[in-house]
Every structure is written in C-alpha cells, then in structure tokens.
Structure 1
Amino acid sequence: MKLTLRQIQLPGRVRLEFAEQGGRSGTPVIALHGVTDSWRSFEPVLPHLPSELRVMALTQRGHGDSDKPAGGYRSADFAADIAAFMDVMEIERAVLVGHSMGSVNAMRFAIDHPSRVAGLLLAGTMPWFGRPPELMAYHREQIVPLVDPVPDAVARDFQQSTLARPIAASILDRFVAESLKVPAHVWRAAFAGFIGDDFSPRLREIEVPTLIVWGRHDAFCSATDQEAMLGQIRTARLIEYADAGHAMHWEEPQRFALDLSRFVTSVAVGAAMA
C-alpha cells in the first residue's frame, strides 16, 4: 500500500508534516506520536494495516520536520492543531490513536471536541503524567537543563527506556535521529506540557469507545494507572501486552496493527448500528 509523505499549513497556526495511506473513502484514523517522536513512530505499524483505513500519522508541532514555534506545547494547543488539521482535510470525525504524550493530546481533543471523535486508542497512557515521582525527577534532572544541541546520548537513553526488548538497531537509530531533530526548547516545553496538564478529573466526560493498550513492562505507566484509566473512562477496555514495554507498537507492530484494525472495525460497526 502506498504511503505518501505530505506537509500541510494550518491557517493561522503551524505547518505540519504527516504520512498518509489508504483511500479517502476509508475510515479516518489519526495517529499521534509520543514526545520527541514523529510520524515515524508508527512506521513499523503502517505496513500491517488494511487498505480500508485512511491513516494519517501526524508529526505534531515542534517535532520532526514540522514547524517548531517558541511556544504552544500544552495539550490544548496540540488538540487545537488536530481540529485545524481535520478542518483542512475535511474530516468530520476520526478514530484517534495516541501513544504516550500523543495519548494525552488525544484525550484532550476528545474532551474539547467530543463530536469529532469516533473512538480512542490510547497506548502507554495514564490519567496524569505529572503524578509519578520518577518521571518528575527525570524531567527536573535530565530535561530542564537541556540546551542545544541535544546530546545523542540523551535521545538514545530516552528512547531505549521505552523498550522492554531490543528492536532492530537500524530502527532504533531512526527514532533517535527523529528525537535529535527536536530542539532543546521543545524538549523542555513539551515535557512540561504533558506533565503539567492535569485534566484527569475530566476524563469522565469521554464517552466514545476507548481501547487502552499497555505493555506489562512499561517503565512509566503502571498497572495501577491502567486500573485508574478504566475507572475514569466508563467506555474503556484494556489489552495487555505481556512482554512489551512503553513502546509496544515498536516491539510488536503486527499485533498492534491487528488490535487497531479490529478496534476501528468495532467502532465503525457500532456507529452503523446506532
């Protein structure tokens, strides 16, 4: 299936890079990567998705080859970009797939624009990333002091920390290279954004079908976090990857693609029956 890499100007906002595959008549799926990643975060998954899905993997502001403004890195800013992207692409409703920071932005979008979300797949998530003391310490000690150029070791150590099992060295190198495209001010602001935005009390407002995907060896998101998510989003169900870490879609891309396609099918069937 052909993958097209495009750039799009959001009126009055930023220029975003995105990868697209599938026909315009397919079910729209918008994929949102984690902090310092890009559309390439979903590159291992895309070849395994069916042609019936119109998948658009965004490179969010500040990341990859998208614009890198001085500010605008709160979850509400990212959510507003998604809304503008959907307007330009003439997409009324879509299934959103979010990994880590992308899951935060997807949840915020579902709260701010509930009529535009058909379903949510949240991977490597928790109600609020500002709660774990280990993550707060990492932010304070490793991210806040960053200056340009961001050291290769910082990007590599961060990406490796998301894995429970090794992946191909060439693929990891690709992800590290994408992280090194992110300037220090975006590392600082993006981390501060998703760690600082606590809208967890509003998760109860999410009423669309929601699939939570979690790797049992996730170094950031715990089993308790997943229980909390299920308690706050009444429409949610959980799939556990027993041998995977935070980046389960890198470790098991075929399984992730199958779970995603099954979820989208269930959402589409549910909408047709409604």
Structure 2
Amino acid sequence: MPFTQRDGTRIYWKLEGQKDHPPLVLLNSIGTDMSLWEPTLALLRPHFRLLRIDMRGHGASDAPGGDYRLAQLADDVAAVMSDAGIARAAIAGVSLGGMVAMEIALAHPERVSALVLICTSARMDRAAWQSRIDTLRQDGTGAIATMAVSRFLTPRFADRHPEIAESLRQSITAQSDDGYAGCAAAIRDMALIERIVSIAVPVLVVTGNSDIATPLTGHGDVLLACIPRSHHIALESAHLPPIEAPGALAASMRRFLAPRPDHDAAADALFDAGLANRRRILGNAWVDKSLAARTPFNADFQAMITRIAWHEIWGRPGLEDRTRRLLVLAFTASLGRWEEFELHVRAGLSQGGFTQDELKELLMQAAIYAGVPVANTGFAKAGRIIAELEDGSGTDRPD
C-alpha cells in the first residue's frame, strides 16, 4: 500500500491509469474516503491517470489529534503528488476536497492545471461547524452519522439504495473521532473567500440541485462570482454526485478537462441531446447506472446508441412519447427481447408513460398478432414488475 509520510502522519494514496494520460487528482469529502469516487472510475480511467487520496483523518490515512488546517491538508496532497511522480495535475474535490483543491491552487499554483469544485464552498457557518466539533469531541462520530448521510443523499436515492446510505452511515461511525473533528476544524477556520479571486486556472463549479449543504445559492454562485475563469454545471443530486450522479459528473469532467477535437463537437452535441431523451424516458437512476458501467470496450457502442436511437429516433417529432413507448413494448415482446421489454415496462409504469390498462390491451393484441406464448410471457413479466412497483421492492430499477 503506498503511503506518503508528512509531519509524522501517513497519507494513503492510489495511482492508476496509463502513464501517457493527463493526471487527475481526486479528493474526498469529509466523512468519506477515496471509495467515494469508485462509481466514476470506469468512466474517467480511459481519459486520465487517476490519483486518489485518503485525506488526513480519513480512510487508511492516519488521524492525529488536534485541529487540522486547510493549508496542512493542501500540503499533504502536494507531498503525495511528488511521491506519485506528478508535477502538475487537474484536481477535483468534493466538499472538503474542493476546499483543499482551492487551497492548493492558491498555495501551490505551479502544481495545478485546472480545478473541478464539486458541491463545495469558500465560506461556511463557523458556529454550525463549532457545534458539530463539540458533538464529535463529546459523543463521537456515531452522534452525527445519520444527520450527515441525510445531507449526503437525496431522500429518493437513499430510499432506493438503502444499502448505500447504510454503508455511508457505517463508514462515518467507524471513522476516527479525531480525524473527523480535525477536518471539521479546517472547514470552520478556512480563509478562502477573500483569496479565490487569485485562482488563475480554469475552474468547473459543480452544484447539486438537491444539495442542502452547499447549494448554488450562497455557495456555488459565490465561487462563480469570485473566481475569474469559472464555469458551472448543475447535476441532479444532493451533496455527493460521485455516488448519486456518477455518469453525468464524469461526462462533465471529461468535457471540461479533456475536450475532444473540434471535429467531435457535433457528435458531443448529438450525444447530449440523446442523453436528455434517454433520461426522460428511462429515468436518471437507470441511465446513471448504465453510464457508470461503460468500459473502453463498449463506450463507443453506448455513445452510438445514445446519439442514434435516443436522439435521432426518440427525438423525431412525428410521435409522442406514449406512442413510442407502446410501440417499443409491442416490438420487443414480438421479437422476444424480454430484457428490453422489462426495462421499458418498468420505466413506463413508474413514470406514468402509460397505464396498466393500456399495457394489458397491448398484450391482448400481441396474443392475436404475435402469438399466445408471446402474450403469456409478456403478462407474466409485466405482472411481476407491477407487483414490485406496488409494494415498493422494485423502485430502485429499471435494470
């Protein structure tokens, strides 16, 4: 396991990806570790050499007692970069990680080529963070774990993925009290707001539309107003887009940090238009899961179907979405493409794209024109999905 020793403290890090790819440093939020980024790795690895770091007080890194300083955390990252053989890199950080990224850009400008500041801020409520530190010092991380996770994820995502919410809660509970409190002190005492006007590299500010910890208003908009070369994108997530919107986040980072040549701009525009249709029809959860599963082997295929099927076909003006949904069900049932059939049944029923009665009539027609066995299988599969949706056991899908 690679560790960097600094000031008697071991900082754990992991480097992966091809040496000829541009380096990208990934920093975690308070209360998480480098595993925060795992849902995005398959999407980022084909384009970047990735350096992930467990910040002081988190994960496998040491957690010395006392208050930490933002400059101290920034120096830790600079030391890790040196040990990893990375002289200069883009740095992406979530929450506390974004604050540390800004501090690195100010204290070590020669080490930074660009910043991606995700659900973060240059100023926080000192009294609120002091209150949290007092609770930590007295009662430990278990006392704040449930509250923290409620701010990390939207209720809808947490309800659909209780295992993820519980894993985050357990991770916080297991974290060092000293480590969490030390980093909380760094947030409480940060002095960024008067200085970030000096950040000279390109900056992407990422906000979550459901983030209550560092929303656009009062936080993201301040960064955009103060940092000269800053750009903005909003994602459908709460405070942790790498978990809740990994596909959209990774795509935004790639476009900002490693833009394609000009001749690919049209393809990117078609992909974005198709992705919007895909999200509208299938829902964000399924699309994010699908994007996160991309690999270098299948990424071009995924891009092709997003451009052609979801933009050029689903984007045509001749038919409304409801009619297209029902046509897809008729075709997939008739051809025995049951995986696609189930996907569109679940998406259509959960989003109000058609009614159960309309689905029933479609399958009755299929019995006549495609055969009774087709309708029999269709009724069985649709009935199971309806039951799952009604009892809530299938709300985290389609898949």
| TM-score of Structure 1 vs Structure 2, range by shorter chain | 0.7 to 0.9
Q: Does 1:161 align with 2:151?
A: yes
Shift in Å at residue 44 of structure 1?
Answer: 1.5
Q: Normalized per residue, which structure has more helix? A: 2
**Paired residue for 1:170?**
163
- For 2:204, what is the secondary structure of its paired residue? strand
Q: Is the 8 A contact 1:74 1:197 kept in 2?
A: yes
Q: Normalized per residue, which structure has more strand? A: 1
The residue type paired with residue 204 of structure 1 is V
The structure with the larger Rg is 2
Which whole-Å CA distance do the structure 2 matches of 1:147 and 1:32 have between them?
25
Q: Select the residue among 211, 224, 233 that pairs with 1:230.
A: 224
**Paired residue for 2:177?**
184
Higher RCO (C-alpha 8 Å, min separation 6) = 1
Which whole-Å CA distance do the structure 2 matches of 1:163 and 1:236 have between them?
26
- For 1:185, what is the secondary structure of its paired residue? helix
Shift in Å at residue 19 of structure 1?
Answer: 3.4
Which whole-Å CA distance do the structure 2 matches of 1:176 and 1:209 have between them?
34
Q: Which moved more, 1:158-167 or 1:206-215?
A: 158-167
**Paired residue for 2:114?**
119
TM-score normalised by the chain length of structure 2? 0.60
CA-to-partner distance for each residue in 1:44-83, whole Å, 9 max, x for gaps? 2112224231111210111111111124621100010011
Q: Which moved more, 1:204-213 or 1:157-166?
A: 157-166
Which whole-Å CA distance do the structure 2 matches of 1:267 and 1:195 have between them?
39
Q: Is the 8 A contact 2:47 2:254 kept in 1?
A: no
Query: How does 1:183-262 map onto structure 2 within 5 Å?
Result: 183-222=176-215, 223-241=217-235, 243-262=236-255
**Paired residue for 1:146?**
136
Q: Does 1:62 align with 2:53?
A: no
Which whole-Å CA distance do the structure 2 matches of 1:267 and 1:213 have between them?
20
Gaps (5+ residues) in structure 2?
A: 263-399
Q: Select the residue among 12, 28, 46 that pairs with 1:33.
A: 28
CA-to-partner distance for each residue in 1:174-219, whole Å, 9 max, x for gaps? 3223323322222222112112112211101101010000012211
CA-to-partner distance for each residue in 1:111-131, whole Å, 9 max, x for gaps? 000011010000011221236
The residue type paired with residue 21 of structure 1 is E
Shift in Å at residue 157 of structure 1?
Answer: 2.5
Shift in Å at residue 235 of structure 1?
Answer: 0.4
Gaps (5+ residues) in structure 1?
A: 1-5, 270-274
Shift in Å at residue 163 of structure 1?
Answer: 1.6
Q: Is the 8 A contact 1:162 1:245 kept in 2?
A: yes
Q: Is the 8 A contact 2:69 2:186 kept in 1?
A: yes
Q: Which moved more, 1:199-208 or 1:8-17?
A: 8-17
Which whole-Å CA distance do the structure 2 matches of 1:64 and 1:216 have between them?
28
Q: Is the 8 A contact 1:209 1:267 kept in 2?
A: no
Shift in Å at residue 151 of structure 1?
Answer: 5.3
Q: Does 1:263 align with 2:263?
A: no
Which whole-Å CA distance do the structure 2 matches of 1:98 and 1:13 have between them?
24
Change (3 A) 1:7 1:176: farther
The residue type paired with residue 247 of structure 1 is L
**Paired residue for 2:302?**
none
**Paired residue for 2:320?**
none
The residue type paired with residue 193 of structure 2 is S
Q: Is the 8 A contact 2:141 2:176 kept in 1?
A: no
Percent identity, aligned pairs only, is: 26
Q: Is the 8 A contact 1:130 1:196 kept in 2?
A: no
TM-score normalised by the chain length of structure 1? 0.86
The residue type paired with residue 72 of structure 2 is D
Root-mean-square deviation (CA, aligned residues, Å) is 2.3
Which whole-Å CA distance do the structure 1 matches of 2:46 and 2:55 have between them?
24
Q: Is the 8 A contact 2:130 2:188 kept in 1?
A: no
**Paired residue for 2:39?**
44
Which whole-Å CA distance do the structure 2 matches of 1:264 and 1:151 have between them?
36
Change (3 A) 1:121 1:151: closer
Shift in Å at residue 100 of structure 1?
Answer: 0.4
